[in-house]
Amino acid sequence: MVQLAQLVTGFEELWPLSNAEEWDTPGLQAGAPNQNVQRVMLSVDVTDAVVACAIQAKSDLLLAHHPYLMRGVKFLAEDQPKGSVLAKAIRANLAIYSAHTNADVVADGVSDVLAKQLGLSDSAPLLGQGDVGTGRVGDLTDATTLGKFAATVARTLPHTATGVRVSGDYNHVVERVAVCGGAGDSFIEAARAAGADVYVTSDLRHHVVQDARESSLLASEGNQMAIIDVSHWASEFLWLEVAAEQLRRIYPEVSFEVCDLRTDPWDFVVTQ
């Protein structure tokens, strides 16, 4: 058992707040720095079901990737979703901490873990310096086809209703791969500039992918890039166990467990 403030110090050594985007709100969002913590649950999101799961597990802290309180939150009345969930956590003495974009960009962070799980070697940030930066780009040990690589992506990530969507020819040769956990549409050109044969990310919209596809078709043969769109939640979920293991080594007296609830918002798809 340790004080929450001591845990926060460790969190901010692993995931410095200085690495967060300006718009982001990582850090302690609920809880008292002097409260004791013996059990921590890790999740991508803070939802009513996740909070209930943490309370049932007798957790003292919910360490979430996504901040529960971000821009646009004006009311915390309990007849509103945000207020209801936060009140439930506070009444159960469940603290809430978030490591978001500051955990995306570091070594063993969200994108780095995704790159390693997909088999990339010698990966480096798409944008940044040293080990810190947005996304990752690296090479597969052996070249493969886009279709086979997409199947690897599907096997590697936890299952979601929307699965894996691919823009590109099935037989397109893939060796150099760029990834960005979470929403990465603004880094498509960075992936192309890094020489990626395929870019894996989430939350891609129709016009963004259409424009990227047209650009790829106009490119010379050596610069064509396919795109794979995956679930936002799934692309970040793999990081949780890595983060939990890092924390177990630092705080062996504290229990760190990953919430296995699927918080991807889509439940099923209907095909024609």
Residue type, 62: L
pLDDT of residue 182: 97
**What is the chain's Cα-based Rg?**
19
Residue ranges of domains in the chain, CATH in brackets: 2-100 (3.40.1390.30), 105-233 (3.40.1390.30)
**Dist. CA 61–CA 238, nearest whole Å:** 20
**Dist. CA 112–CA 120, nearest whole Å:** 9
> Tokens standing for 27?
């850090």
Nearest to 136 by CA among 199, 215, 222, 183: 199
pLDDT of residue 241: 98
Pairing of strands 173-183, 36-37: unpaired
**Dist. CA 257–CA 35, nearest whole Å:** 19
Which residues are CB-contacts of 139 (< 8 A; sequence separation ≥ 6)?
A: 120, 121, 122, 175, 176, 177
Biggest alpha carbon–alpha carbon distance for the chain: 60
Nearest to 9 by CA among 104, 30, 17: 17
244-265 residue pLDDT tens: 999 999 999 999 999 999 999 9
* pLDDT per residue of the chain (272 residues) written in tens, 0 to 9: 899 999 999 999 999 999 999 999 999 999 999 999 999 999 999 999 999 999 999 999 999 999 999 877 788 899 888 999 999 999 999 999 999 999 999 999 999 999 999 999 989 999 998 899 999 999 999 999 999 999 999 999 999 999 999 999 999 999 999 999 999 999 999 999 999 999 999 999 999 999 988 887 776 555 789 999 999 999 999 999 999 999 999 999 999 999 999 999 999 999 88
